[in-house]
Amino acid sequence: MRTFLKILITASLAVSTGAKEIKLLNVSYDPTRELYTEYNAAFAKYWQAKTGDTLTVSQSHGGSGKQAQSVINGLEADVVTLALAYDIDAISSQAKLLPADWQKRLPNNSTPYTSTIVFLVRKGNPKGIKDWDDVVRKGVSVVVPNPKTSGGARWAYLAAYAYALENNNHDDAAARDFITKLYKNVPVLDSGARGSTVTFAQRGIGDVLLAWENEAHLVLKEFGADNFEIVTPPLSILAEPPVAVVDKNAKRHHTTEVANEYLKYLYSDEGQEIAAKNFYRPRNEAIAAKYADNFSQLKLVTVDQEFGGWAKAQQTHFADGGVFDQIFQPQN
Amino acid sequence: MKISKLWLATLLGAQLAFKSLAADNADTNRDSDIEALKQQVNALSQEVEALENQHAAEQPAATDAGNDQIQALDQQVRILARERELDQDAAAEAAKTQPKLQVGSNGFIASSADSNFVFRLDGVIQVDSRSFFNDSANKNANDGFLLRRVRPIFQGTLYRDFDFKFTPDFAPSSGPTIFDAYGNYRYEPWLQLRSGKFKTPEGLEQLQEDVNISFNERSLVTDLVPNRDVGLQLWGDIKGGVLSYASGIFNGVGDAQNSSNAAFENEVEFAGRLFTQPFKSSDIAPLQGLGFGVAGTSQNGTSNLKDLPSTTGGTLAGYTTDGQQQFFAYNPINRTVNASGEHWRLSPQGYYYYGPFSLMGEYAISDQGVSSTTVGLPHNKTDYADLQNTAWEISGGWVLTGENASFNGVTPLHPFSPHNGEWGAFQVVARYEELDIDNAAFPVFANPGTSASAAQAWSAGLNWYLNKNIRLNASFSHTTFTGGGGVGTTAPAIVTRQPENVFFTRIQLAF
CB B293 within 8 A of CB A12: no
Q: Is A197 on the interface with B (CB under 8 A)?
A: no
Yes or no, beta carbons of A5 and B236 under 8 Å apart: no
The residue type of A207 is D
Q: For the segment A116-166, what is each residue's pLDDT rounded down to a tens digit?
A: 999 999 999 999 999 999 999 999 999 999 999 888 999 999 999 999 999
Q: For the segment B152-167, what is each residue's pLDDT rounded down to a tens digit?
A: 999 999 999 999 999 9
Yes or no, beta carbons of A199 and B247 under 8 Å apart: no
Q: What pLDDT is attached to residue B31? A: 66
Residue A170 backbone class (left: φ over 0; alpha: ψ -120 to 50; beta: rest): left
Pairing of strands A55-62, A22-29: parallel
CB A217 within 8 A of CB A294: yes
Yes or no, beta carbons of A1 and B346 under 8 Å apart: yes
What is the pLDDT confidence band of residue A5, given thresholds at 50, 70 and 90? low
What is the pLDDT confidence band of residue A259, given thresholds at 50, 70 and 90? very high
Across chain A, mean pLDDT equals: 91
Yes or no, beta carbons of A187 and B81 under 8 Å apart: no
For B191, the closest of A16, A141, A203 (CB atoms) is: A16
Q: Which residues pair with B434 in a beta bridge?
A: B392, B456
Strands (E), A219-311: 228-231, 235-237, 243-245, 281-282, 299-301
Q: Is A173 on the interface with B (CB under 8 A)?
A: no
CB B203 within 8 A of CB B229: no
Q: What pLDDT is attached to residue A13? A: 53
Q: Is A322 on the interface with B (CB under 8 A)?
A: no
Q: For the segment A192-234, what is each residue's pLDDT rounded down to a tens digit?
A: 888 999 999 999 999 999 999 999 999 998 888 889 999 999 9
Q: How many contacts, defined by CB atoms under 8 Å, are there between A and B?
A: 88
| Whole-number Å distance between alpha carbons of A186 and B14 | 60
What is the pLDDT confidence band of residue A63, given thresholds at 50, 70 and 90? confident
| Mean pLDDT across A100-105 | 95
* DSSP states of B266-292: S--EEEEEEEE-TTTTSS-GGGTTEEE
Strands (E), chain A: 22-29, 55-62, 79-81, 113-114, 117-122, 142-143, 208-212, 228-231, 235-237, 243-245, 281-282, 299-301
For B342, counting Cβ atoms within 10 Å of its Cβ (0-12 exposed, 13-18 middle, 19+ buried), the class is: middle
Nearest to A64 by CA among A202, A205, A195: A195
Q: Is B113 on the interface with A (CB under 8 A)?
A: no
Yes or no, beta carbons of A191 and B86 under 8 Å apart: yes
Which segments in chain B show pLDDT lower than 70?
1-34, 37-38, 41, 55-62, 135-141, 302-307, 310-318, 377-378
Q: Is A4 on the interface with B (CB under 8 A)?
A: yes
Contacts of A190 in chain B (CB under 8 A): 86
Instruction: List the single residue in A with minimal CA-CA distance to B191.
Output: A16
Q: Is B271 on the interface with A (CB under 8 A)?
A: yes
For A199, the closest of B82, B191, B273 (CB atoms) is: B82
Yes or no, beta carbons of B83 and A13 under 8 Å apart: no
Among residues 467-506 of chain B, which lie with CB inside 8 Å of chain A? none
Q: What pLDDT is attached to residue B12? A: 45
Q: What pLDDT is attached to residue B339? A: 84
pLDDT at A17 over 80: no
Domain boundaries, chain B: 2-93, 100-510
B110: Cα separation from own chain's centroid: 17
CB A266 within 8 A of CB A39: yes
What is the pTM assigned to this prediction? 0.66
User: Count H helices, E strands: chain A?
Assistant: 17, 12
Q: For the segment A64-93, what is each residue's pLDDT rounded down to a tens digit?
A: 888 999 999 889 999 999 998 999 999 999
Nearest to B248 by CA among B277, B264, B272: B272
CA angle B501, B208, B309 (to 5 degrees): 60
| Whole-number Å distance between alpha carbons of B454 and B439 | 10
Q: Distance from B77 to chain A by nearest Cα, in Å?
A: 10
DSSP secondary structure letter of residue B403: P
Q: What pLDDT is attached to residue B315? A: 39
Q: Is the dihedral of CA A41, A47, A48, A50 positive or negative?
A: positive
Q: Distance from B304 to chain A by nearest Cα, in Å?
A: 21
Instruction: List the single residue in A with minimal CA-CA distance to B187.
Output: A253
Q: What pLDDT is attached to residue B37? A: 66
Domain B100-510: CATH architecture, name and number where available: Beta Barrel (2.40)
| Mean pLDDT across A268-287 | 96
The residue type of B213 is I
CB A105 within 8 A of CB A92: no
Mutation site, B75, B79, B89, B386, interface A, largest A CB count within 10 A:
B79
State how far the alpha carbon of B415 is from the alpha carbons of B376, B410, B418, B419, B494, in Å.
Answer: 64, 11, 9, 11, 43
Mutation site, A1, A2, A5, A150, interface B, largest B CB count within 10 A:
A5
Strands (E), B15-88: none
Q: What pLDDT is attached to residue B10? A: 47
State how far the alpha carbon of A154 is from the alpha carbons of A151, A158, A232, A244, B210, in Å.
Answer: 5, 6, 18, 20, 60
